[in-house]
């Protein structure tokens, strides 16, 4: 049997285990996928020692950057992105990849549908944000980041104004704000400055409609959750794991 998994903390929101185990059962594959809720990324050493049959694992919040120093090798694109969400294990060696880029690109294509979108705001500066920024650069879409700390560059939430929101027709939430079980949370934006010209993308897929999305809809924006991104990156993940 081949074992795969997901590392991160917390993991209650994730549907990765259900997605892959349903796939394995449907395709008659002798594989299993499980969650490893790690309070520290260094606990991956214990996981590897406990499960010598582990062939690979996905990486989610908050370890997409922290896992990199623990790898033996990293794919060129993942290195350029600066974040890893897939690790393949071959003969005991760990190699990192990034399939978030592919997943987000598919979601973005659907959301903007070829329209000129102008400038974008990326909420958050973590590992998922880095994949989003990579895609925006590849597509030539100028953007600014928004974070809680001025040390990370870009805007902070308290420096955002109505005018900044009006000028940025694409707003992407890469933070965990609004993720189950804390579904009442949402990024602190000037939602009243949104219009029907705006597109809001939330990388969260559980719940299907976050408070961020609900507020966007209230003011006329088109909204998209992260389910398509999750499914597309998962398919690409399996291509890496299986070598297909």
Which tokens in the block code for residue 18? 């259900």
Which tokens in the block code for residue 35? 């969650």
Angle subtended by helix axes 100-112 and 127-138, to nearest 10: 60
Going 22 to 23 to 27 to 32, the CA torsion angle's sign is negative
Question: Rounded to whole angstroms, how far apart are CA atoms 15 and 17?
Answer: 6
User: Which DSSP state fits 71?
Assistant: -
Which tokens in the block code for residue 156? 């902070």
For the question of residue 64 being annotated catalytic, the response is yes
Q: Please, are residues 174 and 122 in contact by the beta-carbon 8 Å criterion?
A: yes
Among the listed residues 64, 88, 130, 236, the single catalytic one is: 64
Q: Please, are residues 70 and 64 in contact by the beta-carbon 8 Å criterion?
A: no
Which tokens in the block code for residue 191? 């939602």
Indicate the pairing of strand 199-202 with strand 143-147.
Answer: unpaired
Nearest to 170 by CA among 149, 206, 207, 195: 195
Nearest to 166 by CA among 219, 129, 116: 219
Which tokens in the block code for residue 195? 């219009």
Active site residues: 64
């Amino acid at each position: 049997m081949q074992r795969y998994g997901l590392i991160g903390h917390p993991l209650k929101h994730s549907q990765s285990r259900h997605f892959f185990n349903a796939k394995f059962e449907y395709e008659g594959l002798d594989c299993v996928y499980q969650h490893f809720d790690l309070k520290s990324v260094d606990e991956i050493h214990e996981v590897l020692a406990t499960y010598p049959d582990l062939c690979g694992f996905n990486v989610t919040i908050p370890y997409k950057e922290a896992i990199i120093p623990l790898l033996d090798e990293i794919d060129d694109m993942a290195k350029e992105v600066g974040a890893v969400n897939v690790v393949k294990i071959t003969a005991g060696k760990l190699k990192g990849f990034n399939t978030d880029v592919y997943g987000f690109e598919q979601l973005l294509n659907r959301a903007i549908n070829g329209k000129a979108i102008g400038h974008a705001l990326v909420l958050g500066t973590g590992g998922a944000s880095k994949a989003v920024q990579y895609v925006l650069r590849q597509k030539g879409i100028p953007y600014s980041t928004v974070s809680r700390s001025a040390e990370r560059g870009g805007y902070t939430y308290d420096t955002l104004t109505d005018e900044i929101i009006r000028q940025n027709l694409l707003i992407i939430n890469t933070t965990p704000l609004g993720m189950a079980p804390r579904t009442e949370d949402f990024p602190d934006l000037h939602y009243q400055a949104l219009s029907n010209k705006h597109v809001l993308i939330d990388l969260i897929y559980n719940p299907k409609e976050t408070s961020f999305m609900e507020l966007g809809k209230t003011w006329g924006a088109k909204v998209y959750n992260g389910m398509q991104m999750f499914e597309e990156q998962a398919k690409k993940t399996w291509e890496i794991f299986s070598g297909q």
